[in-house]
Amino acid sequence: MTCMPNEDVEFHDAIKEVFRRYPEAQGKYALSSLALENQMKIDFSEKVGVSRVEGDRIITEFRDRKSVVRMQLCLKWNFDYTECLHWEEAPE
């Protein structure tokens, strides 16, 4: 199934142009929607997504920012790279 976003068309076109301009980035990055997080009413100033891999699944939990103390690798940044929205626990 192919589903193209019908909102923010100019924005998506600009992102496509960036990927065309930097083809080496196409396998490293993807545009991600925050629709599910918004549906869950996640307040990213208070919570952060923390993910781990279990077999063929990626498990994400939203935890209080202040409680996350292990070393982390940022997976998703906000639009201007000033705040990490989603972490992966660093390997031990």
Average pLDDT over residues 46-75: 84
**Residue 11 domain-assigned?**
no
Residues whose CB falls within 8 Å of the CB of residue 36, separated by 6 or more in sequence, listed in order: none
**Residue 38 domain-assigned?**
yes
User: Tokens standing for 45?
Assistant: 């100033």
* The predicted structure's pLDDT at residue 36: 92
* Tally of domains within the chain: 1
**Residue 71 domain-assigned?**
yes
Full domain range(s) for residue 83: 31-89
Mean of the per-residue pLDDT values of the chain: 84
92: DSSP letter: -
> Parallel, antiparallel, or unpaired for β 84-89 and 72-77?
antiparallel
pLDDT over threshold 60, residue 1 = no
pLDDT over threshold 80, residue 77 = yes
Residues whose CB falls within 8 Å of the CB of residue 3, separated by 6 or more in sequence, listed in order: none
**Residue 14 domain-assigned?**
no
**Residue 60 domain-assigned?**
yes
* The predicted structure's pLDDT at residue 81: 83
Q: Measure the N-to-C terminal CA separation of the chain; round to a whole number of Å.
A: 38
pLDDT over threshold 70, residue 25 = yes
Q: Is 84 helix (H, G, I), strand (E, B) or coil?
A: strand
**Residue 23 domain-assigned?**
no
